[in-house]
Amino acid sequence: MTDQQPKRPLPDINEPDTREFWQATANREFRYQQCANCGTVVWHPRAHCTGCTNGDLQWQTASGLGNVYSFSVVRQSYHPFFRNLVPYVVAYVDLDEGPRFLTNVVGVADPGEDVHIGQRVRVVWEAHDEFNIPLVEPVPAA
């Protein structure tokens, strides 16, 4: 082991459209935008509504609960960070409030068998110095 372990590519947290999202992740809040004019849920964060182009977007906080919309199991990667994770799951997740975001499903023993479309998941946070990255894990059946 060395202290030069490959690192996950990280976002620019000072990018104008997404800054507020990344700031909220420091408090483990998943925030998204909703149009004050037409009600459209807007994801990813941006300056104008994708439904009506209005610029009055209001920030909302999601519960962190959602369902797997679709997914793929990555079995080979040439990226120094990701190749140490294979096999792993990349998924689109629909949060209950509407945002559909791209993430990883973690906390599964067998990525090829333990993830399915419609699966109930919840956001878990991968910690970094000034922000956290939202991943998801399965919600155990009640």
Contact footprint for Zn ion (CB under 5 A) = 35, 37-38, 40, 49, 51-52, 54
Three-state SS at 63: coil
Q: Indicate the residue among 54 and 61 with the shorter CB distance to Zn ion.
A: 54
Residue 119's DSSP bridge partners are none
CB of 40 vs Zn ion, minimal distance in Å:
5
Q: Indicate the residue among 57 and 136 with the shorter CB distance to Zn ion.
A: 57
Residue 123's DSSP bridge partners are 136
CA distance 32 to 20: 9
Sequence-distant (6+) residues with CB within 8 A of 3 are: none
Q: What are phi and psi of 69, to 5 degrees?
A: -85, -45
Q: Indicate the residue among 57 and 115 with the shorter CB distance to Zn ion.
A: 57
CB of 63 vs Zn ion, minimal distance in Å:
22
CB of 99 vs Zn ion, minimal distance in Å:
15
